Amino acid sequence: MSSVDKTIWDRLFLVLVGAIYIFLMFPIVLVMLLSFNSGEFLAFPLEGFSLRWFESLFSNKRFLDATLYSVRIAAISTIVNGVIGTLAAIYVARHARTGARNWLRVLMTGPLLVPEILTAIALLFFFYEIGVGTDYSIGIQIGHIVVTFPYVFLNVSSALFNFDRSQEEAARSLGAGPWMVFRRVTLPAIKPGIITGCLFCFVISFDIFNISLLLKSLGNNTLPLELFDYLRFNFDPTAAAIASLSIFLTFAAILIIDRTVGLRSLRF
């Protein structure tokens, strides 16, 4: 293939990739634009520019309570998975036997392989069998922890895979104990993986729908569930404002990842 043909194919490939990105980003941009619509309904083109629907969102107690509830569940899931996900990754990468390591990885990433609705149904049956049911918030919290656990495990495992263990050996040769080696050498090295995994965990937990729908306690709705209930009876741009809030949180998490560990440092 000549250099001219190669250049043409490269340009066509870039055009194709650009078209795919535009196709994927267009719904997100459209929803954010609709949240500033001054009209009474979700309709395009916009009838004008207004912040009235954001005012409606922040003055609605149900939406505010749902947002705080979602943030609380996501924060607890992030803290718990930040600890157990990191410990599980260290065990699998450093201490598990070679023959069992691959099986453990499959087990740890199982919630990603099984459809979320099936996980929710299985947990629902399990909680009723042990007498917990959905009367308490513990069911939905456990569900969120289970589903978001692989994100921390995979990111920390990735950081451990790229970590040069000779640094730990050098620290031990200088007299450092196991805890000091972990605190001063290992933990700073895998910190980008922990931060990235925890941020992914928070964002995914905040937006989970199926788990929340089946395992929520009476009278408590997460923000996605509150939005679903709202759209059954209303079709105004308040729904777009809620979606824009969720999009903003997602992009904020990506920005934090880029500013703290750098997106270029991620290796899977």
Question: How far apart, in whole angstroms, are the C-alpha atoms of residue 177 and residue 94?
Answer: 17
Which pair of tokens denotes residue 242?
A: 């809620």
Question: How far apart, in whole angstroms, are the C-alpha atoms of residue 8 and residue 233?
Answer: 52
Q: What do you get for the CA distance between the two ends of the chain, in Å?
A: 33
- Are 145 and 80 a contacting pair, CB within 8 Å? yes
Q: What is the DSSP track for 157-219? A: HHHHHT--THHHHHHHHTT--HHHHIIIIIHHHHHHHHHHHHHHHHHHHHH--HHHHHHPPTT
| Percent of residues, the chain, with pLDDT higher than 90 | 12
Element (H, E) at 253: helix 238-260
**How many Cβ atoms are within 10 Å of 257's Cβ, its own excluded?**
19
Residue reference for tokens 């994100």? 151
* Inter-residue long-range contacts of 254-258, CB under 8 Å, 24+ positions, other chains counted: 256/199, 257/195, 257/196, 257/199
Is the pLDDT at 61 greater than 80, yes or no? Answer: yes
Residue 146 three-state SS: helix
Instruction: Report, as an integer, the average pLDDT of 42-69.
Output: 82
Backbone angle region of 175, left / alpha / beta, with phi > 0 → left and psi within -120 to 50 → alpha: left
What pLDDT band is residue 268 in, cutting at 50, 70 and 90?
A: very low
Instruction: Report, as an integer, the average pLDDT of 115-136.
Output: 80
Residue 18: is it exposed, middle or buried by C-beta count within 10 angstroms (0-12/13-18/19+)? exposed
- Give CATH superfamily name and number for 60-265: MetI-like (1.10.3720.10)
What are the sequence ranges of the domains in the chain? 60-265
From the list 155, 137, 238, the residue with the least C-alpha distance to 192 is 155
| DSSP 8-state assignment for residue 37 | B
pLDDT in tens, 29-43: 888 888 888 777 777
Instruction: Report, as an integer, the average pLDDT of 169-192.
Output: 79
Is the pLDDT at 149 greater than 90, yes or no? Answer: yes
Is the pLDDT at 185 greater than 90, yes or no? Answer: no
pLDDT in tens, 230-251: 878 877 788 888 888 888 877 7
